Chains A and B, each alone.
Chain A
Amino acid sequence: GAVVSQHPSWVICKSGTSVKIECRSLDFQATTMFWYRQFPKQSLMLMATSNEGSKATYEQGVEKDKFLINHASLTLSTLTVTSAHPEDSSFYICSARRDREGSYEQYFGPGTRLTVT
């Protein structure tokens, strides 16, 4: 159990276009999902917390109008990178929090490699 998928696994887009990344919890419901960004040889940087049925909470320095998050159901959150630029190229990883009595474990998706040309 506790499987999280992401789609697509990689994407190449032209500068100025928008890209949508999906994150799904396959075998559990997740009221809370998280979006991270990871640069080569660095740790994960939290971008935003996605809550089902409410607005996402963005970390300081993350533009909410550029990185649109929608958590429409208990198993799906989407991240849309709007008007992408080469500096947005990165590895984007989502996680879903499985809430069980006494434990709140986060399970990560396999990541999406975004390259903006």
Chain B
Amino acid sequence: GQQLNQSPQSMFIQEGEDVSMNCTSSSIFNTWLWYKQDPGEGPVLLIALYKAGELTSNGRLTAQFGITRKDSFLNISASIPSDVGIYFCAGQLGFSGGYNKLIFGAGTRLAVHP
């Protein structure tokens, strides 16, 4: 089946540093979504991308939908302690039938040292 390769698996950074993580796949996706999950809670949608090449920002977060539609990256600028959590990428193949389900990456665990 389809798989997403998300990297890095974990990151330990100093407060104020920038962060970059990415997801790649052998499949072409119509939608890329980035989520953040805190311990014991459900994932929260950060950014949704719908067009190849699309670059979207949400505060200090920036994500891009790769031109080939097989990859996406998420950048966090000037990290702060509350950025700690697990970040998941998710791809969607289509919008109807069996294609409307999300395929998740394994997650990137982010730790920020003050």
Contacts and interface: CB of A to CB of B under 8 A. Distances in A.
Given A43-B107, A44-B88, A104-B31, A93 B43 contact: yes
B40 A111 contact: yes
Contacts, number: 54
Interface in B9-49: 31, 33, 35, 40-45, 48
B50 A102 contact: yes
Q: Size range of the interface on B?
A: 20 to 34
Interface in A33-75: 34, 42-44, 46, 49, 57
A105 B101 contact: no
Nearest to A44: B104
Contacts of B48: 103, 105
B107 A57 contact: no
